[in-house]
Amino acid sequence: MRKRLTKAEEEIMQIIWSKGRVLVSDILDELGEPRPPHSTISSIVRILEKKGFVNHKAYGRTYEYFAAIPKEEYSKHSVKDLIAEYFGGSANRLVSFLVQENDLNLKELGQLMEALEKNKKKKS
How much of the chain exceeds pLDDT 90, in percent?
52
Domains of the chain: 7-67 (1.10.10.10), 71-123 (1.10.4040)
Angle CA 4–86–12, to nearest 5? 30
User: What was the pLDDT predicted at 93?
Assistant: 85
49-58, 67-76, 108-117 — which is least confidently predicted? 108-117
Check residue 97 and give its pLDDT: 83
